[in-house]
């Protein structure tokens, strides 16, 4: 990973649109799932799978791979679509989201799908798992980096803050936590349900390096991760401000789409918008 060129950004922007399109199709076919966060994090997953991670889709258990932990597992449609785009498995599998016999469950299950590091589900647990992996890497002298993707809503969990304290105390500079700061959770806005601000200062007081970015700007996301990997003696938190439902106007910013899938008519409307957006990108490029 290094400097990102304009042409790379353009290619990734188009990939992010394809990933959003697959998210809509997956959720509409399944008839259930989480739309807002999945669409909002599509750019972040694109950045990881197509620029940031040291990984090999043909060797998902490669010992020297970077570890990517998804704590807010309900946004797994975005991860599955990115993994399929990267070549981890056939895209036809995406139509099996949430089926009992499918490797693509509603929350990721490590034993069902190669390329997953953990089984997600209980919110607030992911950073503790990631911190443990990063600490083990330090003890073993390994050079791979551990990344943990979290939601802002799961910062309501005390277990998350225990992991924040542990990582800061152990100076885990091989650990980066990316926070999806979309300001919504299932019951409403985060600042009404359980106010999180001042979020940056809370991490800093526990010895974390903190960066704030537009999480829907691929260049900003990549540059922030590049900065995080250059930090010494501190773990890094990237507060990524995203728009829930990004790319679909009737979902954007609406917490009611947190745990809701589009019906066939809504899916068509969403796909038409994404198609128009892709055409605009191609025209600009």
pLDDT value of position 285: 63
Tokens, residue 273: 């918008």
Average pLDDT of the chain, as a whole number: 96
Percent of the chain with pLDDT over 90: 95
Residues 6+ apart with CB under 8 A from 149: 41, 44, 68, 69, 70, 71, 72, 126, 178, 180
Give the whole-angstrom CA distance, residue 173 versus residue 157: 23
Question: Could you give the C-alpha distances from 79 to 137, 159, 192, 228, in angstroms and in order?
Answer: 24, 24, 28, 21
Question: Is 70 exceeded by the pLDDT of residue 198?
Answer: yes
Q: How far is CA 241 from the centre of its chain?
A: 12
What is the DSSP pairing of strand 146-151 with strand 67-70? parallel
Coil, strand, or helix at residue 167?
Answer: helix
Domain boundary assignment for the chain: 6-284
My answer on whether omega of the bond before 198 falls inside 30° of 0, hence cis, is yes
Question: Is 80 exceeded by the pLDDT of residue 4?
Answer: yes
For 156-170, what is the mean pLDDT? 98
Higher pLDDT, 183 or 280: 183
For 10-34, what is the mean pLDDT? 97
For the CA atoms of the chain, what is the radius of gyration?
18
Question: Is 80 exceeded by the pLDDT of residue 2?
Answer: no
Give the whole-angstrom CA distance, residue 238 versus residue 176: 7
Tokens, residue 102: 């499918």
pLDDT value of position 25: 98
pLDDT value of position 85: 98
Using DSSP, how many helices (H) and how many strands (E) does the chain show?
A: 10, 7
Question: Is 80 exceeded by the pLDDT of residue 79?
Answer: yes
> For residue 178, which of 71, 74, 50 has the smallest C-alpha distance?
71
For 177-197, what is the mean pLDDT? 96
Question: Is 80 exceeded by the pLDDT of residue 276?
Answer: yes
Coil, strand, or helix at residue 232?
Answer: coil
For 27-40, what is the mean pLDDT? 98
Q: pLDDT (tens digit, 9 = 90+) per residue, 224-236?
A: 999 999 999 999 9
Question: Is 90 exceeded by the pLDDT of residue 151?
Answer: yes
For 52-66, what is the mean pLDDT? 97
| 282 band by pLDDT with thresholds 50, 70 and 90 | confident
Q: pLDDT (tens digit, 9 = 90+) per residue, 210-269?
A: 999 999 999 999 999 999 999 999 999 999 999 999 999 999 999 999 999 999 999 999
pLDDT value of position 147: 98
What CATH topology corresponds to 6-284? Rossmann fold (3.40.50)
What is the DSSP pairing of strand 146-151 with strand 209-214? unpaired
Coil, strand, or helix at residue 129?
Answer: helix
Cβ proximity of 150 and 10 under 8 Å: no
> For residue 152, which of 191, 209, 119 has the smallest C-alpha distance?
191
**Helices 6-30 + 76-86 axis angle, to 10:** 120
């Amino acid at each position: 990973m290094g400097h990102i060129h304009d042409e790379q950004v353009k290619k990734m922007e188009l990939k992010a649109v394809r990933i959003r399109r697959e998210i809509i199709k997956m959720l509409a076919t399944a008839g259930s799932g989480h739309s807002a966060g999945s669409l909002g994090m599509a750019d972040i997953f694109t950045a990881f799978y197509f620029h940031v991670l040291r990984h090999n889709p043909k060797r998902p258990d490669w010992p020297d791979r970077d570890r990517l932990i998804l704590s807010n597992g309900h946004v797994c449609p975005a991860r599955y679509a990115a993994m399929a785009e990267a070549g981890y498995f056939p895209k036809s599998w995406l139509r099996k989201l949430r089926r009992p016999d499918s490797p693509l469950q509603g929350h990721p299950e490590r034993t069902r799908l190669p390329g997953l590091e953990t089984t997600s589900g209980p919110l607030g647990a992911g950073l503790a798992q990631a911190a443990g992996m990063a600490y083990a890497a330090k003890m073993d002298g390994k050079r791979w980096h551990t990344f943990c993707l979290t939601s802002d809503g799961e910062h309501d969990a005390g277990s998350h803050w225990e992991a924040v304290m542990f990582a800061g105390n152990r100076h885990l500079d091989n650990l980066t936590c990316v926070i999806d700061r979309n300001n919504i959770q299932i019951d409403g806005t985060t600042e009404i349900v359980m106010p999180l601000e001042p979020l940056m200062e809370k991490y800093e007081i526990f010895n974390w390096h903190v960066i704030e970015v537009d999480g829907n700007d691929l260049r900003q996301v990549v540059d922030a991760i590049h900065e995080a990997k250059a930090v010494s003696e501190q773990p890094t938190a990237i507060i990524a401000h995203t728009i829930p439902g990004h790319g679909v106007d009737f979902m954007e910013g609406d917490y009611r789409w947190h745990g809701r899938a589009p019906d066939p008519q809504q899916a068509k409307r969403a796909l038409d918008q994404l198609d128009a957006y892709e055409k605009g990108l191609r025209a600009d490029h």
